[in-house]
Each structure stands twice: as C-alpha cells, then as structure tokens.
Structure 1
Amino acid sequence: MTKVEDLPKNHIASTVEKENTDIEIENTGENGAGDIPAEDSATEGNTKLKEVLVELAMGTTIHGVANIVSATKTYKKLLWLSLWILALVGYCFQLSQIHNTYTTAQKTTTMDLQFGVLNFPGVTFCNLNPVKKSLLRETPLDLQLFLTISESVMKLYSEPISVEIDRNHPGFQFLNNFEKHGFNTEGWDVLSYIPTDPLQTRDIFIKSEISKMNRSTVERIGHTIDDMLLHCSFNSMICNSSFFTPISSTRFGNCYTLKSDQLVTTVPGPPYGLTLVLDMETYEYVSPSSSGNGIKLVIHEPDSYPFVEEQGVNVAPGRTSIGLNRIEIQRLKHPHGNCEDHKDYVNQYGIEYSKMACEQLCQVTLTQDICGCIPTIVSIDPSIVTSFSKFCGTMDIPCAILVRQAQVKGDLYCPCTNPCLENVYTKTISSHSWPRQEYLIHEIIPLICEDTERAKKVVNITGYTCEDFLLMDLPEDSIQAFRDNFVKLDVYFEDLNYEHIEEVPSYDIYQFLSDIGGATGLFVGASVLSLVEVVQILVEIIKYAVCRHVKK
C-alpha cells in the first residue's frame, strides 16, 4: 500500500487541482455556464478584443502601425504615433486637393483632322424683295405704305416720343406681368428701347404686317421658286424645284430650303456641289424698301431651322462661289459641361435642336405670356410652339422688345443649352461680274424662254420675243432690264477633310483613383488590400460591441 508521503509532489498538486475543478463543475447552474462574475466576463472580452487588434496591427501592411504597437519604450511609441498622425494629416490634405480637382470637372479641348464622305448641308435662300411690284395693290394698305415710304419720311415715325410712363395706364399694364417672372421693371425706361433708326423701324413694321398675312397669300404675292429657279444641279446631276421646301420669312417673304438630308458629297470641288442659276426679277422690286438686288443665303445643318436674318449673307447679282469646310463640335454633358442631346426636339417641334431655335421659341412663349401677343421680331415660325394667332401690333412692340432685352440680359430665364454634337460650316466666298452680254443673250435668254410663262415676261419687259433674240442682232438696250438680274451660285466642299473638335475631361475617374492610390502609398504605405485589413478591424469592433450589448 502506497503511502501519501511516498507520492510525487506534482502528482499531489494535479490531484488537488482536479478535485477543485470537479467542485466548480458541481457548483454550476442548470444551464451549465457557471456563475462567472460580469466583471470577469467583461475583462475577458476586453482582453480578447485587445489581442485581436494587436494581432491585426502587427500584421497590417499599413506602414508605421506595427512600430507603434511593438515599441517597448514610451518615447518610441510617442515618436512613431506622432509621425504616423503627421503622415495621416498630410494624406487627408492631399486627398482634399485631389477631390477638389476632381469635383471642379475641368475639361480640355482636343482637335484632330478627319476624313470621310460628307453629308451636304442645308441651303436656304430668299429674294431680298418680299413683294412683287405687280401684286403690291393686293396687300394691306399699311404694308404698301411701309414698303414704298422713303427714308426721309420714315424719320418722322422714328422721332423719340415724350411720354410719361404711368403703370396704371392700360398701355403699360404689361409691366406688371414681368413681376410674375420675378423681374423688377422699376427704373426701366421703356421708350428708350423703341428703335429710332428709320431703316430698323421700317423693317419692324414690314415684319409686323407680313406676319399678319396667311402663308398662302405671302407665297402668292412674293417671288416663287418657279419664278426664280432657272437651273439647278447637284453633283453634276440636274435637279428642279421639287428639291426645295418653302418656308416663310417675316422680312423676306418666300424662302426655299434645299432638301439635303439625302445628298452626299464624295468628291470636293464646284462640279460636285450645288449649282443654282436664279432670276431675281429685279423689275418687280418695290422701292425704296428693296434698295439692292440679290438674295439672302444661309448655310445650316440639315433639318435645322434656317435663321436667314441672323445668320444669312447677302449675295449680289453675278457669280458667287462659296467653298465650305465642316467643323464637327462634340461637347461634354454634366458635370464637365452643360450640353444636352435634345433627342425629342424633332418629335416635339419638327426641327433639329439649335440654341438659337430654343431661345427664339422661348421668346415667343414669354412674349405671349407677358404681352398677350406673338412677337414679329423673331425669325422663327411661331406656329412651331403655339397656336395663338394674335400678333403684336404697333402698341405692343415696346413690350415685345422689353422681353427680348430681358431675355438677352438673363433676367428672364430660358433653359437653352448647347447641343452635344453640332456641325458648323466655315465659308470662303468669292464673286465676279456675271454674265457677259453675249452669254446673257445666247445662253440665259434661251434658258428663260424654255418656259412659256417666262417667255411672256421676256416680251413684256423687252418688247422682243424669244425668236427675236435668237434670230436677230438686237441693240444692247434691249436687255437693259435684265442687267444685274441673275445670280449664279456654286456651293461646294473645298475638301473632304473636316475638323473634329471634342471636349474631354482633363481629370477623369481613373486619374482620380490613381492619384488617391499614389497619395495613399506615399503617406501611409497602404494599398487596396490594406482596405480589407481596415474592414476586418471594423468587423471585430462591431462584433465586440454587439456582444456587450447582448450581455447587458
């Protein structure tokens, strides 16, 4: 029998420890968890969390953190902690600079030369004379007056009128309507916006009178495409009046636009562009309103509205060549730019979007709302945006002009932005005297005589028949009425190269992320994988917080 004193001491200690353990197990509650004090449990949890955080800190790839944890001396801990905080401050400052650069949405413009087949632009022309002299008596008396009145007499209509502006007077009630749009008209000298130049005044009155006439009447009393078009060719192929769409201008009456949406230029040069020979019918011009002969011409994008008055050029009788070069502009949307596609514009208004079309349609809407009438000082057809039929009369003109001035200054808001993709055309214009007398007699007159109605005009104007011109040697004064009467127009691309101008972000998302990565690596030596470590630390902290909340 073995005695107690004969057992090894370590065996006795282990036996006692086992017995103590058994006693603790027997004293556990029903759930077997034991009655461990809450303080001991919290201490154990804190110790576990601390151990996890220390372990993660020692193994993290973020520079400096392990040095702070592993330092045995207090001054070393403070040194590494100070350096790490300093680096963190520099990192945050650099991040703010990078963020500011990114949020300012800076852009740069690039330009390159491209080559390809080019769609031919829209070409719109109008005779400078809106009403034929032979049909003048069929127009309203007011229009007859303004078309035939002299400039010296017009000065009487343009003299400034001394009138005291009374806001309670019915004639100035429109000033109160500006207030509805958040615009204060106090201090506005309304009468100062009425034009005093005689020619401008006459143009305003002419436009006002023509706008009141229906389209069929304007077309009948003006120069039609059949009256003017003597010859038409595109890409050396004959075209005719069916290639043109009529539109109305409140200043020039009948205008005609080439249907160019299906026309393509494959070879540069005049023979492969558009060639027109036009009869101006200068003997039908009404003086003095039509003080010069020729046409108004505008080159524009196909299907866009032609703003003849604002963007057109005057082409005098003779031969004029217009060489075109296309510039394609591509703009950026928000946040780098403010362009919009406006894809629904064609479906909504029947025309391609342009900033000028948007501004003038907005002006029509604002004038209708404020003045109660449709402005006649716009070039665009108001029926595109409204069915309202009351046009601004003489007493409404100051109100309409005030709306335009307030819109231009930005006091009346119109949400008009640049299109994201736009084509513009630069023009090289050259001209010379045309035609010579021999060419006029032997080429132009026979061209006129091909049409029966035009042949009658030759007899009425010159007193000679077409046969007389062909068979007889007529005196020079026989064609005096036809001098300065014809325009030959060549419109073509000078070459098929075109400039492509594009706005691009100078600081995109990839550069933004690259700079953040560079700053992160420079200051704290972190990488993308370091984010996983940060997430792991946050998960451990959240897990610990949730466990403590549940135990409470």
Structure 2
Amino acid sequence: MPELRNNFDLFCELTSIRGLQRIKKAPTFFGRVIWSAFVIAMTLSLFITIGFLARDFLSYNTAWHARTIIGDKANFPAITVCAHNPFSLEANTIWKKNEILTPTGFNKRLSEITLEFIKHDKLEYASVMLLDSTENYYANLRPNESQTLSHQTDMFPHCMVTADGVRILAENCAVEADTGFTKRYFSHPRYFNCWTLETAANHSTRETVRLTLLIRLVPSVEIDEAKNNFIMDTFSRGEGVKLVVHESGTYPEIDKDGINVQPGRMNELSFQTIKWVRLQTPIAPCLEDPKPIFDMGSTYTYRLTQCLDSILQNISINSCGCLNSEWPRTVDSALVNTKIPYCSALPKDPKNPDSLKDMVERLTCAGDLLHRVKELKEEAIRQRNCISACSYYTYPVSASITSWKPMPEKLNYFTEKCQRVESLQNNPQQKEKFIRYLERTLNSSSADINSSTITSLSSKFAKNFENEGLYTYISLVRTSYDTTLQEERLIFDFYILISRVGGLCSIFVGLTAAFLVELIEFIYLVCRQYKKQDSNVKKKDMELGQTENNEINLQGMTKQNTLATESVNSKYECPEKEKLNNEG
C-alpha cells in the first residue's frame, strides 16, 4: 500500500490531466474528495462520449461528393430504341397465313376461357378478359415468333457517327464496319423487338461526339389486327418510339428510364457523363468484378436492380413454374414457352379443366409473389446475395425537340454524295469515275442537278416522306468530354474520429498528446524506483549473507581452537597415566 500511494503521488506530480495535481496538493480532506469526484466524473463522461463516437464511426455513414474530371474521354453510351407499335408490315402477311397466333385468335381464346370460368360459377376470374394487351399476347408467343412479327434492322435507313470532326454515314445502320459501334437485339414484352447501338467489345468510342439515327416507323393504323384488339393498351401506347440511354453492355431499363420520342420531329438528346464510385465498407460492400446478368441466353453487365430482379425470376420459376415477363429471363430462349411458360400464358385448349387449373395456379402464385417483392428484395440485400457494383456510369439526358420535314430529294442527294465519297476512300480505282461525277456536277445547272436528283429518287423516300409521321430523327450528342465523378466518402472517417476524440479529451480532462511523454516518464521512474529497491534488497541480502558466513567461519575457527587445545592436553596426560600404571 505505501508503494501504491507513492506511485500515485508520483503520477499526480508528473501528469497534466486536469484535477489530479489538485488531489495531491489539496490542503484538506474535503478538497481531495471534491477533486477526486471531479476527475472520476469527467473520466466517465469522456469514455461514454468516446463510445458514442465509436458507434457513429462503425456505422460507416457515407455521402456523395461530386467533382468534375476535365477532358475525361469516356466511351459513348448505348442507346436502345423501341417502336411504340411493335409490329412490322410483314406481320399482316404472317397473320393472314395463320402461321402464328393472331391477336384476334388471342382475344377469342381470352373470351373462351372467361366463358368457361363463368359457366363454372368462378366469377372472380372474369378479369381474364382484361388481359387483352400486347404484353400478354407476347407471353403467348415463342421468342422466334415475336421476333418475326416485329421490326428488323431495316427500321434504321441511316445512321451517322461524328468523331474527331469526321462524319461516318452507315446506310441501313451498318455501323459495325468503321465506327466502333455494334447493333444488338433485345426482346421486350411490350415493344417486342428493340435495338441497341452500343460500343463494340474491344473497341473505343471515346472520340465520338454525336450519334444520329433516322428511324422509319409503322403507324398502328396500318396493322390490321391491331385495330380492334389490345384494348388495354389504349392509354399506355402511342406513336413514335421509346428509347433509353444507358451504359454499353447493360440491360436496358425501357420501362423505368425510357423517354418517348414523337414521329416527324428532330429530337436532339444531350447527355452528361456521370461516373459513380462506391466506397467499400464492412456495412455496405461492393463488387469489383461482378458476374454478368442473363436474359434469354444473352449476357449483360451486372447491375444491382437486375440482380434483384433475376432472383425474383428464379423464385418465380422454382415456386410457380413460370416466367414473369417484367424481369430478366434467366433461362435459354429455347426453353421459353416450351418447357417454361410465361405466367400469363393461356392454355391452348380452354375447355380442358386441368389446363385452366394450371393457369389459375400460375396467376395466383405470380400475384402472391408480386405482393412479396419488397420483402424478398430486402432479404436478398440483407443476405448479400445482391451487392452493388463498385463503379458504374449513368447518363442524364435533356431533350430538345423541333419539327422536322426533310425534302426527299435532299436526303437522297445527301445519301448519294456520302456513298460516292465512301466508295472512293475504300476503292482508289474509283478516282476517274469520281472525277467525271464532279465535272458533270460543275458543268450542270442547279435545275439540272435537282431534276437529276428527283429522277434518281428511290420510290421509297418519295412515298414515305409524303407522310411526316413515318420517320423520326434522333441525335444523341455529347455536350463535353468532361465527366462528373460522384465519389462515395465516409461522413465520419478515421481522421475526424481522432480529431473529435482529441477535442473531447481536452474538454473533459485536459488530456493532450503530451500525456504520452508523461506516461513514459512515469513508467521509467517507477521502474527505476523498483530497480533501485531491488538493488538495495540484494545488497542487504548480500551483507546479511556475508555476516552469516563470517559468523559461521568464526564458529568454525573457535571449534578448531578448542579441539587443538584438547589434543595438546591429552598428550601431556598420557605419559603421567602410564607412569602411574607402571608404579602400580
């Protein structure tokens, strides 16, 4: 206890902690009690507040910080285009041949199924009549059938890419040759065939500043079967196209992010490049190289939303035995509506009670699943089955729209010139032919040129441009090469934690970094004191041992002297005894 008291007194003398020196120097017992209570209360308060700070730090709350990267040439985004009228003119011919289920046949099947339900007093299923939409019609077709009925790549008469000040014209949108872009087919339940123009693999579109698309449309009035069917599309479908701008390689979210484009308009879409970089934390981890997303055999770059939808689709397949057309179809296209039907697929024989029972079970199961979507997604995130990617791009778009009425002869002349220049560049042997063309142009009057142009017009342009609603013009423009970097950072990082802990230590007990030096000095002095005490103890032990040895030696010498004296005395006594014996 005295040693502990001495150490405490020494610590109080050395430390700069507020109140400890007053405990030692207080002249009265009451003063020492007050200052002791103060030090204890402030120390407890310090530990409690540091605990709160540690809790906030370990929660890893984050915020987004934006900054602009000047001249960061990112790849050009992808654009996915879907026509509001999903059917091509060839669909009329196909339906007349009854090669594929017609919209009228689909509507009749709905009526037959509803009639069977009503006959069996199942009035709650009369709502089957309301399934008359293109989406449910799509769910009753095989993938190759829906692809045949819809628009092909000929819906793009012209595409033009502007890069490094050079315009590259791609007739029939054959962009794969020189532009770094490629076309990709995407099947959508509402719009059937959609087409994506995106950066091709192992190619770069960093220098591209503009992508121009001329799109030929088919008005809904020209689709015979659509006039009296698909009544549920009345308030959800118009004319023109629906498009979405997204990162190349990603799954196009037409329904969530798509914008509508009117026919007969020049639609200039200016986009801004935003790169999102997430922070890797224990609470909210992210994936550096995630696995791709699958949709009917095609692969797409991973996104959190598609991962969650894919999990829902797998649950639908395993629990309900059917596909939901709104989510990525995680099976091969050959299995769709052959081995695995869509949930809204109709039985081919409406009078078969087993088929009707299967349809009702599928629809009921799918409806129950839709009610649990929020719960299932939260569970997938909680179990970390789906984690956000660490970096991705988005492209906010602003649209500028005006009327567009090009003259057919002007468009034809534009096409002719571009074709001649491209032909010369690809085949230098066309030089003489190109010279003759230029000489003929120079020697001709303006009227002759116009007359020649009109004569050479293809009947396609002349006929189609009589109706401005048959075409629309889309220009996707990069406003600048700058990239806005949205970087996720900790609101409460380690440096802020150290700063706040230091502030609290200073406020409550006046603790500073000098306390470390004081602590080292205290430990040194205590160790030195203990070492000195040990040295003194050892010295005393040695002195005591030496004293004991001296005493032992002294006792030994005394004993030896006694024995020697006794030996001498015995020598003198022995002759006298012998003499007495002889006399006796």
| TM interval, short-chain normalised | 0.5 to 0.7
Instruction: State how 1:396-407 maps to structure 2 within 5 Å.
Output: 396-407=362-373
Name the structure 1 match of 2:159.
Answer: 232
Partners of 2:412 and 2:453 within 8 A in 1:
no
Distance in 1 between residues matched to 2:310 and 2:97, nearest whole Å: 31
Match for residue 81 of structure 2 among 103, 121, 125: 125
Instruction: State how 1:2-401 maps to structure 2 within 5 Å.
Output: 46-71=1-26, 73-116=28-71, 117-127=73-83, 128-130=85-87, 132-137=91-96, 142-145=101-104, 198=130, 201-210=132-141, 213-215=142-144, 217-225=145-153, 227-235=154-162, 236-239=167-170, 240-241=173-174, 242=176, 243-260=182-199, 262-264=203-205, 266=207, 272-282=209-219, 283=222, 286-288=225-227, 289=230, 292-318=238-264, 319-334=266-281, 338=284, 340-341=286-287, 343-346=289-292, 350-378=299-327, 380-383=328-331, 389-392=339-342, 393-394=345-346, 395=359, 396-401=362-367
Name the structure 1 match of 2:396.
Answer: 426
Question: Aligned in 2, Cα 1:251/1:218: closer, same or farther, shift over 3 Å?
Answer: same
* Gaps in structure 2 of 5+ consecutive residues: 177-181, 347-358, 420-451, 535-584
Deviation of 1:322 (Å): 1.4
Distance in 1 between residues matched to 2:414 and 2:224, nearest whole Å: 23
- The percent of aligned pairs where both chains have the same amino acid is 17
Question: Aligned in 2, Cα 1:157/1:387: closer, same or farther, shift over 3 Å?
Answer: closer
Partners of 1:203 and 1:251 within 8 A in 2:
yes
Distance in 2 between residues matched to 1:222 and 1:445, nearest whole Å: 30
Distance in 1 between residues matched to 2:129 and 2:516, nearest whole Å: 73
Distance in 2 between residues matched to 1:155 and 1:138, nearest whole Å: 23
Partners of 1:298 and 1:312 within 8 A in 2:
yes
Deviation of 1:277 (Å): 1.5
Distance in 1 between residues matched to 2:335 and 2:2, nearest whole Å: 81
Deviation of 1:425 (Å): 2.0
Q: What is the one-letter code of the residue matched to 1:82? A: A
Distance in 2 between residues matched to 1:390 and 1:512, nearest whole Å: 55
Distance in 1 between residues matched to 2:43 and 2:473, nearest whole Å: 75
Name the structure 2 match of 1:494.
Answer: 479
- The superposition leaves residues 409-442 of structure 1 with CA deviations (integer Å, 9 ceiling, x where unpaired) of 5587333454443322222223344334xx1256
Distance in 1 between residues matched to 2:63 and 2:401, nearest whole Å: 39
Distance in 2 between residues matched to 1:299 and 1:341, nearest whole Å: 23
Partners of 2:413 and 2:453 within 8 A in 1:
no
Question: Aligned in 2, Cα 1:533/1:468: closer, same or farther, shift over 3 Å?
Answer: closer
Distance in 1 between residues matched to 2:518 and 2:64, nearest whole Å: 42
Deviation of 1:372 (Å): 1.6
Question: Aligned in 2, Cα 1:222/1:385: closer, same or farther, shift over 3 Å?
Answer: closer
Partners of 2:287 and 2:389 within 8 A in 1:
yes
* Gaps in structure 1 of 5+ consecutive residues: 1-45, 167-189, 452-466, 548-552
Q: Secondary structure at the match of 2:50?
A: helix
Q: Secondary structure at the match of 1:345?
A: coil
Q: Secondary structure at the match of 1:399?
A: helix
Match for residue 509 of structure 1 among 494, 511, 534: 494
Distance in 2 between residues matched to 1:473 and 1:130, nearest whole Å: 24
TM-score (norm 1): 0.66
Deviation of 1:158 (Å): 8.6
Bigger Cα Rg: 2
Name the structure 2 match of 1:183.
Answer: none
Deviation of 1:492 (Å): 0.9
Deviation of 1:244 (Å): 0.8
**Cα RMSD for the two superposed structures:** 4.6
Distance in 2 between residues matched to 1:417 and 1:162, nearest whole Å: 47
TM-score (norm 2): 0.63
- The superposition leaves residues 462-501 of structure 1 with CA deviations (integer Å, 9 ceiling, x where unpaired) of xxxxx99626999x99658865222222111233344433
Q: Secondary structure at the match of 2:469?
A: coil
Question: Aligned in 2, Cα 1:146/1:56: closer, same or farther, shift over 3 Å?
Answer: farther
Q: Secondary structure at the match of 1:324?
A: strand
Partners of 1:293 and 1:485 within 8 A in 2:
no
- The superposition leaves residues 208-253 of structure 1 with CA deviations (integer Å, 9 ceiling, x where unpaired) of 123xx144x444443211x222111111223443321222223322
Distance in 1 between residues matched to 2:129 and 2:70, nearest whole Å: 48
Distance in 2 between residues matched to 1:286 and 1:113, nearest whole Å: 52
Deviation of 1:164 (Å): 11
- The superposition leaves residues 387-414 of structure 1 with CA deviations (integer Å, 9 ceiling, x where unpaired) of 7841233412342233123113558733
Partners of 2:102 and 2:225 within 8 A in 1:
no
Partners of 2:268 and 2:401 within 8 A in 1:
yes
Distance in 1 between residues matched to 2:387 and 2:303, nearest whole Å: 9
Distance in 2 between residues matched to 1:403 and 1:143, nearest whole Å: 30
Q: What is the one-letter code of the residue matched to 2:205? A: V
Deviation of 1:286 (Å): 4.8
Distance in 2 between residues matched to 1:103 and 1:434, nearest whole Å: 58
Deviation of 1:265 (Å): 5.0
Distance in 1 between residues matched to 2:510 and 2:121, nearest whole Å: 74
Range with bigger deviation, 358-367 or 108-117: 108-117
Distance in 1 between residues matched to 2:215 and 2:40, nearest whole Å: 82
Partners of 1:342 and 1:353 within 8 A in 2:
no
Partners of 1:273 and 1:490 within 8 A in 2:
yes
Q: Secondary structure at the match of 1:133?
A: helix
Q: Secondary structure at the match of 1:383?
A: coil
Deviation of 1:303 (Å): 0.9
Deviation of 1:294 (Å): 2.8
- The superposition leaves residues 91-110 of structure 1 with CA deviations (integer Å, 9 ceiling, x where unpaired) of 23432443344344443443
Partners of 1:158 and 1:201 within 8 A in 2:
no
